[in-house]
A and B are shown apart, each in its own frame.
Chain A
Amino acid sequence: QSVLTQAPSASGTPGQRVTISCSGTSSNIGRNPVNWYQQLPGSAPKLIIYSNNQRPSGVPDRFSGSTSGTSASLAISGLRSEDEADYHCAVWDDSLSGPVFGGGTQLTVL
């Protein structure tokens, strides 16, 4: 089981807004910046949100991140079929002295 908790699945219809949550503790999300990764089928994870709410160049502004206490959220607005993927949260954990990941949320676009 992963250190960070994510729901195993989520779904939405095209154009809809969906939110994916990530729950942690005071030794990780409560202290350090959260990053989000998108993993398309058969591919490596790709950074889509860093430092809680920043987007790397090339990532659409439909993707946004936020944090509150020991939880983080990834929101995807204007859902598109190409957004169908697994989404993972990641953050540095002070107790581990290393990065930890969520179990991943599989997003289905209906």
Chain B
Amino acid sequence: QVQLQESGPRLVKPSGTLSLTCRVSDGSLSGGDWCNWVRQSPEKGLEWIGEIYHNGMTNYNPSLKDRVTLSVDESNIQYSLQLRSVTAADTAVYYCARRRGYLAAYFNPWGQGLPVNVSS
């Protein structure tokens, strides 16, 4: 089945921009699939960041909306996350995951996760 893998810098300076990529392999995200970004920290647990459809439609967590931009390339293979003006509170493991279904928190599969540390 389709696999997802996150990549990007593991260290970001405060006030900088966190930029990650999720690459899809062994298939593609098809109709009804959304590429989601979820992060996990000891303080907040699992936290939904946002999602993007293959046509570019996006939904964002209101708490992060002003700082987040999601995008997808024309091949629908690479999905990107940009989080601006980061602080130590943005230190977390960042996952991409495929979500399916209407009004459903059905995430399968997940990427392996990428730990990102915000520090000077």
Which residues in A have some Cβ–Cβ distance to B below 8 Å? Answer: 2, 31-35, 37, 43-47, 50-51, 56, 88, 90-92, 94, 96-104
A96 close to B61 (CB less than 8 A): yes
B48 close to A98 (CB less than 8 A): yes
A99 close to B108 (CB less than 8 A): no
Of the listed stretches B12-20, B21-29, B77-85, B109-117, name the one at the interface; the rest are far from the partner chain: B109-117
Inter-chain contact total with CB atoms closer than 8 Å: 69
Separation of A69 and B14 alpha carbons in the complex (Å): 43
Separation of A41 and B66 alpha carbons in the complex (Å): 33
Which residues from B are CB-within-8-Å of A88?
45-46
A92 close to B46 (CB less than 8 A): no
Separation of A83 and B48 alpha carbons in the complex (Å): 25
Per a CB cutoff under 8 Å, which of A35, A44, A47 touches B111?
A44
Per a CB cutoff under 8 Å, which of A32, A45, A56 touches B104?
A32
A44 close to B95 (CB less than 8 A): yes
Separation of A94 and B38 alpha carbons in the complex (Å): 18
Interface bits B21-62 vs A (CB < 8 Å: 1, else 0): 000000000000000101000001111101100000001011
Known contacts A45-B46, A96-B61: does B104 contact A35 (CB below 8 Å)?
Answer: yes
